Structure 1
Amino acid sequence: MARRIGVFTGSRSEYGLLLPVLRAIDAHSALELVLIEGMGRDPADAPEFRAAATVPVKRDDESAASTPRAIGRAVLGVTDALERLRPDALVIYGDRFEAFAAMIAATQMRVPTAHIEGGDLTQGGTLDDVVRHAMTKLAHIHFTTNAEAAGRVRMMGEEPWRIHDVGFPPIDLIRTGDFAPPGRVVEELGLDEARPLVLFTLHPISTSPDKAGEEIAACLDALERARTDLGAQLVLTHPNGDLGSAAIVAALEGVAGRDGVTLRRSLGRWLYHGVLNWCGRVGRGVCVGNSSSGLKETPAFACPAVDIGPRQDGRLRGENVLHVPCEADAIFGAIRTSLTDEAFRARVAAAENPYGKGDAGPSIARVLAGLDLGDPGLVAKRTVFPER
């Protein structure tokens, strides 16, 4: 019988990020895919796989207590789903509170659990780092996105045989050209092909959500200068649903409708990657904000990126990324460099991508098919710190 591999997708973006893994598991003759959805997939992403279970994970309001309450409900929901579906293993991505809830439920039920993206660093005042490392210590199998992260997981006392450096899954889709073609990008967003493009996403910082309002104000000041001084058109997307997001959404809606400004709740993975391709390979553009995608996905498209503020501090980045504080002058200066400095754009075009070559999905499926998931030693973890 094929072994049943559960995959949990918690936030709106995770379905697109995990699509190569879902496809590889579904295509493997020894595996059966069991999809468990949290917040649900992004509406802009095609429903390629049907969810076997849906778990409520959404926060109720903007209070600090809303996140732990959502975690508690999600733990109960994932527990019920696992009890009913009985997967042989569960794959969980990332570092968000929804994923943390799934990890707690699965490991406490002794379900062999594989974690994607352990060992990364984001020391920028978010809770992502501590949640991600906690998930690493709970997980039984580790699929890291780069060699540096694999080394950190080993230093956390994880046994080497549990660690597999597979790369960043979305690179699989980029390598095969699975993204919106330039004509579709122009049509969908109403772009002027003669004007440069700024793609912008800003998320709140979970340890200082009260500062989200002033942070988005500084960003919008810089973006307005890019629009008026550089002739740029702007594609703005909503933040994630973390505490502080309401202030960012309100500010974005305040500038929507201006000439050359497009606001979308989300672009979806297919269109988003098409925009990055347009910015880097086709037209002239830049990805701006503090999303991890600005570091992990832009180098595969030779797309310049401006990383704002401390949210991604410590995360592996390529030579295409300019880091600036959340100050209007600094942000505008980096945008101007990205759009007008030919020497910098040439370096970006030649830079290597540090997040793998595009074989993460099949690599993960092969490991899951080859492991003895019934071995008691898989869930009975040992901590083995490397000798100094």
Structure 2
Amino acid sequence: MSKRRIGVFTGSRAEYGLLVPVLRAIEAAPELELVLIAGGTHVANEADGFTIAAQVPVEREDARAGSTSRAIGTGILAITDALEDLALDIFVVYGDRFEAFAAMIAATQMSIPTAHIEGGDITQGGTLDDVVRHAMTKLAHIHLTTNAEAAMRVRLLGEEPWRIHNVGFPTIDLIRAGDYADAETVTDDLGLDPEQPVIVFTQHPITTSPAAAKDQIAASLSALDQARSKLGAQIVLTYPNGDLGSEEIITALKTWASSRPDVVLRQSLGRRLYHGALNFCGHVTNGICVGNSSSGVKETMAFDCPAVDIGPRQTGRLRGMNVAHVPHEAGAIFAALHDGLTDASYRAKIIAAENPYGKGDTGSIVARLLSELDLIAPGLLAKQTILPPD
């Protein structure tokens, strides 16, 4: 019996790390064949060993407002060409970025059964994520949600119950398996002192208000300066994503770090080092994750690491009790990170709390569902909107 060819699209480093457990599970399943499609060069920079079946360009050319729309359009064309050659049985797309949106449109318009991971999440904080994510839900044939609340929202969008599967958050698989850099590697690579507090910082622009990025990053850096001077905190900065407004943030980070030789600035830590740094913050020293990345909201709880979520970008996102939310104000940011770094009782409560994002078996669940999906069911591609009863 021939293997099912499972195409998986990865468009950016932001979701590639989240996909790794699913990729591994598909690759390990004897009845499945992994066909990896990359919309960027990020996969080649990781050491996970996956073979790239197709490399397709899905990139913004500049910082103009229309660049994302053009990238989606050219991305659809490039991904369509790749899909025509790959003869897939099922296609898997993760998240809500413009690269993934292009992939979802291309595959579903070609009547390829398509599964969407992370539908039903909400981030009501002035980004385009929600509208894109919900649009992708209406296009997808199978929904692989990361939590029960998200599954309920997908159902409320009129998706048929049999299409919806709550599989958990894939990254928890890696964390449960201890697949991240150990404390010695983190110490050596980032030059950290385990006896001193650590702040891991990532801040992205808000896509609906990119002009505010400069002022927003200025407030955050002011708070980090206070943490350095008053708490002796070691700072690890990473670049934002490539959305509009990112250039202003990168310029500010470079300028700030250049006059503070003790600050670590990296374009990216990579998945293993980043998770190792979060583990370092939660289990080795008194550390904290600060910024407005979804990883701060969704991944830190698994490491017992406090987090400060700045501004509206992640508003509405399901989170553990380890996440404190503050506005883009230096005083509020410093107060929250001060509590996270120094309040022993708060850190003890985090250790005792339950993680709302699953137990760490998402990859195997997804592989099983992809193996068992009835590809000749007459209703698979012929979607209906079935609203739940009042």
Same fold per superposition (TM over 0.5): yes
Gap regions ≥5 residues in structure 1:
none
Letter in 1 for 2:66: A
Q: Give 1:157's aligned residue.
A: 158
* Contact preservation (8 Å) 1:14, 1:93: yes
Q: Give 2:17's aligned residue.
A: 16
Q: Give 1:233's aligned residue.
A: 234
* Contact preservation (8 Å) 1:182, 1:278: yes
Q: Normalising by the residue count of structure 2, what TM-score does the alignment of the two structures yield?
A: 0.98
Kindly state the Cα deviation for residue 255 of structure 1 after the two structures are TM-superposed: 1.7
* Contact preservation (8 Å) 2:257, 2:263: yes
- Aligned positions of 1:348-367 closer than 5 A: 348-367=350-369
1: CA distance between counterparts of 2:238 and 2:378?
46
Letter in 2 for 1:137: K
Kindly state the Cα deviation for residue 163 of structure 1 after the two structures are TM-superposed: 0.6
Kindly state the Cα deviation for residue 12 of structure 1 after the two structures are TM-superposed: 1.8
Q: Give 2:222's aligned residue.
A: 221
* Contact preservation (8 Å) 2:199, 2:235: yes
Q: Give 2:197's aligned residue.
A: 196
SS in 1 for 2:319: coil
Deviations 1:323-359 (A, max 9, x none): 0001000000001000011111111111111000001
Q: Give 2:379's aligned residue.
A: 377
* Contact preservation (8 Å) 1:216, 1:251: yes
Is the counterpart of residue 320 in structure 1 residue 322 in structure 2? yes
Kindly state the Cα deviation for residue 55 of structure 1 after the two structures are TM-superposed: 0.9
Q: Normalising by the residue count of structure 1, what TM-score does the alignment of the two structures yield?
A: 0.99
Deviations 1:226-268 (A, max 9, x none): 0111100100000000011000000000122414200000001
Letter in 2 for 1:372: D
Q: Give 2:299's aligned residue.
A: 297
2: CA distance between counterparts of 1:62 and 1:288?
26
* Contact preservation (8 Å) 1:13, 1:268: no
2: CA distance between counterparts of 1:184 and 1:43?
21
* Contact preservation (8 Å) 1:284, 1:339: yes
Kindly state the Cα deviation for residue 15 of structure 1 after the two structures are TM-superposed: 1.9
2: CA distance between counterparts of 1:26 and 1:376?
28
Kindly state the Cα deviation for residue 44 of structure 1 after the two structures are TM-superposed: 4.9
Is the counterpart of residue 338 in structure 1 residue 340 in structure 2? yes
Kindly state the Cα deviation for residue 376 of structure 1 after the two structures are TM-superposed: 3.3
Letter in 2 for 1:282: V
1: CA distance between counterparts of 2:232 and 2:344?
17
* Contact preservation (8 Å) 1:44, 1:266: no
* Contact preservation (8 Å) 1:45, 1:270: no
- Aligned positions of 1:1-388 closer than 5 A: 1-41=2-42, 44-257=45-258, 258-388=260-390
1: CA distance between counterparts of 2:42 and 2:166?
26
Letter in 2 for 1:177: G
Deviations 1:37-69 (A, max 9, x none): 002325652141011001111111110010000
* Contact preservation (8 Å) 1:239, 1:245: yes
Residues 198 and 129 of structure 1, relative CA distance in 2, 3 Å threshold: same
* Contact preservation (8 Å) 1:43, 1:268: no
Deviations 1:151-206 (A, max 9, x none): 11111111111111010001000001000000000011011222100000000000
* Contact preservation (8 Å) 1:119, 1:150: yes
Which stretch has the larger CA shift, 342-351 or 132-141?
Answer: 342-351
SS in 2 for 1:174: helix
1: CA distance between counterparts of 2:109 and 2:45?
34
* Contact preservation (8 Å) 2:5, 2:90: yes
* Contact preservation (8 Å) 2:6, 2:32: yes
1: CA distance between counterparts of 2:310 and 2:53?
38
SS in 1 for 2:387: coil
Letter in 2 for 1:371: L
Which stretch has the larger CA shift, 189-198 or 369-378?
Answer: 369-378
Number of aligned residues: 388
Aligned alpha-carbon RMSD (Å)? 0.9
* Contact preservation (8 Å) 1:94, 1:132: yes
Letter in 1 for 2:317: R
SS in 2 for 1:102: helix
1: CA distance between counterparts of 2:191 and 2:359?
32
* Contact preservation (8 Å) 2:194, 2:284: no
